Amino acid sequence: MKKNNFFLFILFFIVSCTSVFSQSNPFLTNDSIKQNPYKSNFRSVLIVFDASNSMEDKIKGETKIHIAKRVLEDVITKADSNINIGLRVYGASNPTNNQYIDCSDSKLLILPGTNNRRSIISEMYKVLPRGFTPITYSLSQAVQDLIPYNGEKSIILISDGLETCGGDPCKLAQSLLSSGVNLKIDVVGFGVRDDWAAQEQLMCIALNTNGRYFSAENDTELTKGLSESINKSVTGRVITMISKPVEVMSEETQGYEDLPKLQSEKINLQKKK
């Protein structure tokens, strides 16, 4: 009798473990194996989306973040189904005045995959513009997000201004290139046509990873930039949609040495003369 009870216990334990494993394993659903996105040779694109406070500013009566969400929904829905697409968002949390919290405000909301378009759109519309602009930290995390994937990998950074956490995303991009990391960063500067410091910094990120820089001042230009970046492979150092030449600097923090490490999102920064 004891022996039978023992075997029943073992059988129950195995069934329970199998059930728990199937629920926790992201590649198993209803006893069927889903495609493992890490092992496919599909191109992987991670969108790094700006939800900082300044995205609440308006362009022709519509907030920047609403324009960006509307455009992203359209672009993602029409994207090639064989592209792994994911979403990381920065600046979506209310500032705490703690630089370690505010300047690490970057979250991977949707893992890059092929059957996740509705999930990306759903999560994106929940995001509100609240915090700072930790571009350097967000890009460093995005690189880690993409490392496990095979095939071509790229990041699309959407930003409406400068880094506000004291980091240097240009140097980060340079270090990626020098370390041989096979990953390109396309950058969309949204609503920064008159902010030459922001354009210099954002353009430097793209150029130093052999990516492309797009300047977008409205929904049409934003759609064009995002569509080209998602659906086409990134090759060469190409600057597109720029109306005025901008000098690319390697030391993007030059002239800002005396500013506090944690800068207000709304401060109008002026370089020292």
Domain ranges of the chain: 44-240
CB 68 within 8 A of CB 230: no
Q: State how far the alpha carbon of 143 is from the alpha carbons of 73, 86, 181, 253, in Å.
A: 23, 12, 9, 22
Instruction: Judge whether residue 233 has pLDDT over 80.
Output: no
What share of the chain in percent tops pLDDT 70?
70
* Cβ–Cβ under 8 Å, residues 172 and 137: no
Is the pLDDT at 66 greater than 50? The verdict is yes
What per-residue confidence (pLDDT) applies to 230? 75
Q: What is the mean pLDDT of residues 154-170?
A: 93
Paired with 46 in beta bridges are 86, 155
Which of the listed CATH numbers 1.20.58.220, 3.40.50.410, 3.40.50.1970, 3.40.50.970 matches domain 44-240?
Answer: 3.40.50.410
Please check the confidence at residue 116 and state whether its pLDDT lies above 90: yes
pTM value is 0.73
pLDDT at residue number 39:
66
Give tens-digit pLDDT for 217-232.
887 877 787 777 777 6
- Span of 83-92, 124-133, 158-167, 175-184 with lowest mean pLDDT: 175-184
What's the confidence (pLDDT) of residue 176?
86
Average model confidence (pLDDT) for the chain?
Answer: 76
